[in-house]
Structure 1
C-alpha cells in the first residue's frame, strides 16, 4: 500500500477478494477436484491477461483537449501557458487512480479465486481418494483407529418406542483395517454412535472403533461416515490442554450445581459453550427469541473477557504494551477453558478482529481485518464456506463494524452514548444476519432485536463471573459457588427474557425462503428506508409500529381464539404421541401422557395457562407417551403421578422412574375402580388389572395392552381415554363392562389393531386421533377410519386439525380444532 492511499480505501479493497474466495469455495465444494483445478487455471490465465493489459493514460491536469501541445526546450511546460494555479502542472501522462484501483481489485479477486479453487481441489482430492474413501463406497465393515477432533454432540431422539440418543463425533482416521489389511491414513470423518460410553470423550483422544463405513453427503469435506457398532476402546488420553479444559469445565458445572435447573444448564453454555446440562425448553425459547447465538462460543465471548482485562489494566495504570499482553493472555486462557477446538479457535480469530476495531476506534480497520480473516480461514479450511455458523458470525461482525457506528452516532444526539451503542450494536447485528435467516430457516424473528436489547446487559457479567468461577473451582469450589450465584441472577434474566419473547404473538413469522424471500425482504427494506428518511412519515411509522406492538401484547391474549373459552379438555398437537390436558380449575389441569417432545407439551400447557398439575397420569412407558415428562414439570407444581403396572419396555420404564426419583416423586400404580374428583372433572380408572394383563403378539403389544384407561366425565358428557390398548385389552374391557362415552380417544393413534365390538360399544359420536403427520407407522390405519365412519363416528385428527379442544355446547360436548400448524 502506498503511503498516499487511505487505510480505509485499502481495507475496502480487501472485501471483494475475500467475498470472491468465499463464493468460489461455496460453489466448488460440491464439484469434483478437477473442476477446482480448471477454475484455478482459468483464474490464473485471466489474472495474467489483466496484468498484461496496456496501462490506460489520461490528459495531464491543465491540458486543453484538442489542442496540440508545444513544449519549450528543456522546460517541461506547455508553451504559451504560464505557470500558475491550474496551469503550472507537469504534462506527464499516467494511469488514472480509478483504473489503477480497479486493476488492483480485479487482480486481487482473480488471485483469491485461484487460491480458493486450488485449496478446494486439494481438499476434495484428499477426501475422495485413499483407502477410507474407497472402503466407504463399498460400505465395508472396518476397524478404525481415530483421533477425536471436536466434542461429541448429543442428538436427542428415539428408536421406535424407546429413547435412543445419537452421538455425533467429529474425528480423523489414522489407521484403518479391512479384509485383513491395515492402512495408515489421515482422513476426516464423522462417527455416528449411541451409548453413554461416547458422552465423556474429549478431543485429541485416540480410540479404536468397530463399525461400517458409508459415503458422506455431497459437498462435505469428509472421507466417510462411520456407523459405530458398540463402545469405543480408548487407546490414549487427551492432550494436556484438553485435560486442563476438561478440569475447568467440570469445575464450572459443579459450581453451577447450586443454581436452579434452567440457570444451571445455561451458565456453562453461555460461558464456554457446554450444552451438556441445557434444558430443552430453554434451548427452544432462546432459539425462538433470537438468542441462541449466546450458547455458541464466539468472538463476543472473547471480546468481553479481553475488554474486562483492558479496563482493569487501564485502571491500574499499566502501559499499553502490558495491556495488550494481558488482553492476549486473557483470550488465550478463555480459549483453553472453552476448549481449543476448531470452532473456538475461529472465535479467537473473530474476537481479535473485534478487538482491533475496538482498539483502533476505526471501523474501516476492523472491516479490513474481518475481510483478511475470512480470506485466511476460507483458504485454510474451505469447508467453512458452507457452514451457517461461520456465515452468521461473519455477517454479524460485519454489521457491527459497518452499521453500528453510523446508527450509534445518529442516536447519540438524542440518547446517552452508552445507551445509543447498546441499541445500535444488536440492531446492526440482527439486520446483517436477517437475510441469512430468511435463506436458512424461511422465517423472520421480529422479537430478536428487543430480546437482544433486554438480554444484552446480562451477558457480560454472566460471562465474566462464570469464567472466573471456572478458573477458581478446581482450587476452591465454595469460592466458585459464591461467584456463580450472582451469575445465576444474570442468566435467570436472560431465560426470563427469552421465555417472554418466545411467548409473544408473532414471535416468529413464516417467510418465503430462497431468492424470492430475499427479494421481498429487500423491497420491504428499501420501502422502509424511503419512508423513514422523511420526518413526518417516520413519526407516523413509529406511531403505527408502537400501536401494533401494544395491540399484540395487550389485546392479543383477549382477542386470540385459542384456547376456546370454557374448554374442558385439550388433545395437544405433539406429533406422533399422546398428551391430553383436562381442566381442573383456574391454572390447574390433569395431564394424561406427555407426548415425545418436551418443548411441544410445555408449549401446549403454557398456552392453556396451566401452572399446577394436581394429577399426572402416564398410561404406559413408551417414549411417545412419556418422552415429554420434563416439559410438564417445568415451572409447574406436580402432585400425584399415576402409572400403570406394566414395566415394558424396561429401559424406558427405568428412565421414567429415575426421572421421578430425581424430583423426589414416588409414583402410584393405577388400580381399576379408583375415582378422582378434581375440579369439574371426575376420573375413573377402568384398566388395567395388575393380575390380568392381556397378552399380545410382541413386546410392543404387551406394553400397549397394559395402558391405563380413564373414563373422564363432566355434567355435559364424557370422554374415554384409552392409551394404546389393542384388541386383547379392548376385549377384556368389553367383558368387564364398558361405560358409554360421548367422545372416544381412539387407541394407539388409530392403528389397525382395533376390535369392532369395542368401537361400537363406546357409543361415541366423535373420535379423537392423536397422531403425527407423515409418521412411519401408517397411523391412522384406513381400516380403522372406515370402521369409525361406518359407525357414524366423526373423526378429528391432530395431524390435520392441530390441537383439539373439547367444550360444553348447550349441554353436550363438542370438539373445536385449532387448525393445522402454519
Structure 2
C-alpha cells in the first residue's frame, strides 16, 4: 500500500512539475503572442453559442505543443494545451494525431486542469500532416456509420452514432436534455458498458461454439480493441477499454474478488500514466460504476434470484448497483438526486445491446457496402427510438430530478439516509411499509400533485415562458394549438414550455426581430409539431441570424411572411393585430443593436376579457413613434427589451396597463430589468411579474377580467 502511494505521489509530482514549469507555461504567464506546432490529442468540440445578439459558435481543441515560437525564439518542447477558437468550420474536420500550426495568444490554464496553457487562436489552423493510419481508419468507419444512419429520422440519426462510438455531432439538443434528465446520458459516452456489450457478445458466441477459455479471451480482446479503433483511441476511449475489460472479464467468469483487484490495478496504472485523471469526474464515475457492478451486483443478483428468474435479477441488479455507487459523487457534482435513473435504465437497457451491436456492424460494413449498412441500422433505429421514447417520458415525470444539498453536507445527509434505509430494509415488516410509502409517494407525485397545483391553469390565454434571458410567449389558439411569439435562445427550454402547455400544433409563429435571444430556440418550436407560417420583422439586422432563420424555414417548407402594420389573425380565443414596427423608427437608434430592436414586431392581442401589448424589444425611438401614431390601451404590457433602461415614460403610461410582464434571465449580464424602469412601472401603478422571480407567468380569464397566475419559482 505504501509503495503504491509513493509511486503515485512521485508520478503526479513529476508530471505537475513538468507541465507547470516548462517554457509554454512561462510564456502563458506573460500572455505572449506565439506560433505553435502541435499534435491534436482529441476531437475538436464545437460549443453552440447561446449568448449575445447572434450565434457565435466556438471550438475547443486539445493537443500537445511540440514547437513554440515567441520573442524571436524557437523552442522544442512537449506540453498539453487547450485551444479556443471561433470559426469551427476550419477546425471541425481535424482528427486526433494531426499536426497543425496555430497562431494566437497564450494564457494561463485553470489550476484545476493539468494543462500548461490555453491558446486563444486568432487565425484558422495550418495543417502540417494528416492523421495516423488508425485515426484515418476510425474516421472512415465513423463517417460510414453517419452515412448509413441518414435513412433514420433525425432524432434516431443523431443518437445511434453517439450510442455506438460516442459521436454526438448530430445529436438533437432536446434528446440530449431528455437523456440527461432521465439519467441516460452515459449512453452517449463511450464507456466500459459499450465495450462490455461487444465483449459479452463475443463471449456468448465463444461459449455456444465451445471454444476454450484462452481462445475466447483472445477474441474478446480483439473485438474490444477493434471497437476502440472505431470509437477513436483517444485517452477517454483507452480508459473505457481498461474499465470495460475488467467488467467484461469479471461478469464472464463470476470472479468478483479478482475483478476488484484488477480494477484497483487498472486505476493505479491509469492515474500514474495520466495524473490528470485524478481530477476528472468522468473517470471517477466510471470507476465507481464498475466497482458497484463488481461488488454489489453479484450479491443483489443472488438474493433477488430466489424470488425471480436469474436473468431478471441480473437486469435489475446491475443498473441499481451502478447507480448506488455513483450517487454520492453525483450529489457532490450536481447537488441533486435522480430517482428516475434506475427505472429509466431498466426500461432502456434491453435495447442498448442490440443497437450497439448492429451499429458497430454497420460502421464496419458501410465503407464496403453502404446499402447493407443501411439495412443494419434500420432495426437499430427502432432500438434507439425506444430509448428516446423512454427518455422523453421519464424526463417529463414530476420530480425527475430532486434538489439535494451539494458538497459535504449533501453527502453526509445521503449517508444518513442510506443508513436509515438499510436499517428499515433489514426487517420484512418494515420493508412492506417502506414499499407502501414509496408507492404512495410515486402516486402522489404523478397524479395528486397535478390535481392540487395544476399547470397550466384551466382556460389559460397566454403564458410567458421562463426560458432565461430572452422572450417566448405562447398564446392559446384552442385545444392543443397555440401561437408562439418569439422562441427564446434555446430549443430545449421553449420545447419544454410548449410540452408542459400541451401544445401540439402551432398555426402561427411571430419572431419579433432576429436576435439570438428571440429566435435561437426556433428548432424547439418545430420539435414534433406542425407549424403553419412564420411572421418575421422587415428589419434584417443582424444578417447572420436573419439569414439562418430564412434558410431554416425554406428547408422546412414553411411560409415566411414579412410583417406590416395592419396584418391581423383570429385564432381560437385570441385576435392578433400587428401595430409595429413603424417604418420611421426602424433605422433609428444609437447602434446596430438598437436599430434591430426598434424594428421589432409589436402585437396587440385581444381576448373577450381584455387585451395585451406584446412589444418585442422596441426602444425609446420606436416607442415614441408608436405613441405618435396612436397606441391601444391594454390591460397587460409585455415590457420592451426585458425591462432595459431605454424606455419612454409616456409610452409606458399611454398603454394604461395594470400588469407588466418582464421576460428576463436571472443574474444576467445586462442589468435587466433596470432599476429606473422598475421604479417607473411601480409609479404608474403596474404590478410587475418577472420570469426570473416568478417562473412561468400565465394570463387567464377570471370573472370577465384578465388575471395572472405564476408557476415554477
**C-alpha distance 559-730 of structure 1, shift in aligned 2 (>3 A):** same
Distance 1:817 1:320 in 2: 64
- Is the CA contact 1:473–1:479 (under 8 Å) kept in the aligned structure 2? yes
Alignment of 1:123-522 (within 5 A): 123-195=15-87, 196-522=89-415
Distance 1:666 1:139 in 2: 51
Match of 1:766 in 2: 659
Distance 1:544 1:760 in 2: 55
- Is the CA contact 1:574–1:595 (under 8 Å) kept in the aligned structure 2? yes
Larger-gyration structure (1/2): 1
Distance 1:707 1:383 in 2: 49
- How far the C-alpha of 1:280 sits from its partner, in A, is 0.9
Distance 1:286 1:265 in 2: 13
Matched, 1:641 2:534: yes
Distance 1:227 1:656 in 2: 30
Secondary structure of 2:559's partner?
coil
- How far the C-alpha of 1:773 sits from its partner, in A, is 1.1
- Is the CA contact 1:404–1:428 (under 8 Å) kept in the aligned structure 2? yes
Distance 2:18 2:587 in 1: 59
Match of 1:652 among 537, 545, 556: 545
Match of 2:12 in 1: 120
Distance 1:554 1:778 in 2: 40
Distance 1:463 1:174 in 2: 37
- How far the C-alpha of 1:198 sits from its partner, in A, is 1.3
- Is the CA contact 1:645–1:690 (under 8 Å) kept in the aligned structure 2? no
Match of 2:445 in 1: 552
- How far the C-alpha of 1:556 sits from its partner, in A, is 3.6
- Is the CA contact 2:200–2:252 (under 8 Å) kept in the aligned structure 1? no
Match of 2:694 in 1: 801
Number of residue pairs aligned between Structure 1 and Structure 2: 712
Distance 1:691 1:256 in 2: 51
Distance 1:516 1:795 in 2: 37
Residue by residue over 1:753-792, the C-alpha shift from the partner in whole angstroms, topping out at 9 and shown as x without a partner, is: 1111111111111111111111111111112112212211
Distance 1:596 1:122 in 2: 45
Match of 1:631 in 2: 524
Alignment of 1:709-728 (within 5 A): 709-728=602-621
Distance 1:439 1:345 in 2: 26
Distance 1:817 1:470 in 2: 50
- How far the C-alpha of 1:191 sits from its partner, in A, is 0.6
Secondary structure of 2:296's partner?
helix
- Is the CA contact 2:582–2:625 (under 8 Å) kept in the aligned structure 1? no
Distance 1:308 1:434 in 2: 29
Distance 2:489 2:103 in 1: 31
- How far the C-alpha of 1:552 sits from its partner, in A, is 2.1
- How far the C-alpha of 1:662 sits from its partner, in A, is 2.5
Distance 1:816 1:484 in 2: 48
Distance 1:200 1:376 in 2: 33
Distance 1:494 1:190 in 2: 34
- Is the CA contact 2:660–2:689 (under 8 Å) kept in the aligned structure 1? yes
Match of 1:742 among 635, 643, 649: 635
Residue by residue over 1:259-306, the C-alpha shift from the partner in whole angstroms, topping out at 9 and shown as x without a partner, is: 111111110111000010011111111111111111100011111111
- Is the CA contact 2:603–2:615 (under 8 Å) kept in the aligned structure 1? yes
Distance 1:348 1:434 in 2: 23
Residue by residue over 1:407-455, the C-alpha shift from the partner in whole angstroms, topping out at 9 and shown as x without a partner, is: 0000001100000000000000000000001101000001001001101
Distance 1:190 1:718 in 2: 53
Distance 2:9 2:214 in 1: 40
Match of 1:757 in 2: 650
- Is the CA contact 1:162–1:649 (under 8 Å) kept in the aligned structure 2? yes
- Is the CA contact 1:694–1:728 (under 8 Å) kept in the aligned structure 2? no
- How far the C-alpha of 1:638 sits from its partner, in A, is 1.3
- How far the C-alpha of 1:695 sits from its partner, in A, is 1.7
Alignment of 1:83-98 (within 5 A): none
Secondary structure of 1:803's partner?
strand
Matched, 1:776 2:669: yes
- How far the C-alpha of 1:159 sits from its partner, in A, is 4.9
- Indicate the RMSD between aligned Cα atoms, in angstroms: 1.3
Distance 1:806 1:668 in 2: 27
- How far the C-alpha of 1:257 sits from its partner, in A, is 1.1
- Is the CA contact 1:694–1:729 (under 8 Å) kept in the aligned structure 2? no
Distance 2:667 2:217 in 1: 58
Match of 1:606 in 2: 499
- Is the CA contact 2:582–2:622 (under 8 Å) kept in the aligned structure 1? no
Distance 2:443 2:712 in 1: 26
- How far the C-alpha of 1:713 sits from its partner, in A, is 0.6
Match of 2:707 in 1: 814
Residue by residue over 1:148-198, the C-alpha shift from the partner in whole angstroms, topping out at 9 and shown as x without a partner, is: 000111222245211112211111111111112111111001111111211
Matched, 1:620 2:513: yes
Distance 1:306 1:716 in 2: 66
Distance 1:796 1:513 in 2: 30
Secondary structure of 2:509's partner?
strand
Distance 2:689 2:254 in 1: 63
Distance 2:156 2:636 in 1: 42
- How far the C-alpha of 1:735 sits from its partner, in A, is 2.0
Residue by residue over 1:585-614, the C-alpha shift from the partner in whole angstroms, topping out at 9 and shown as x without a partner, is: 111111000111111111111111111111
Q: TM-score, normalised by structure 1?
A: 0.85
Relative to structure 2, which stretch is displaced further, 540-549 or 278-287?
Answer: 540-549
- How far the C-alpha of 1:524 sits from its partner, in A, is 1.0
- How far the C-alpha of 1:692 sits from its partner, in A, is 6.5
- Is the CA contact 1:694–1:732 (under 8 Å) kept in the aligned structure 2? no
- How far the C-alpha of 1:318 sits from its partner, in A, is 3.4
- Is the CA contact 2:585–2:599 (under 8 Å) kept in the aligned structure 1? no
Distance 2:712 2:364 in 1: 52
Relative to structure 2, which stretch is displaced further, 805-814 or 621-630?
Answer: 805-814
Distance 2:584 2:374 in 1: 51
Matched, 1:567 2:460: yes
Relative to structure 2, which stretch is displaced further, 314-323 or 249-258?
Answer: 314-323
Structure 1 residue runs without a partner (length 5+): 1-107
Structure 2 residue runs without a partner (length 5+): none
Secondary structure of 1:160's partner?
coil
Distance 2:67 2:529 in 1: 52
- How far the C-alpha of 1:666 sits from its partner, in A, is 3.2
- Is the CA contact 1:806–1:813 (under 8 Å) kept in the aligned structure 2? yes
Distance 2:673 2:585 in 1: 28
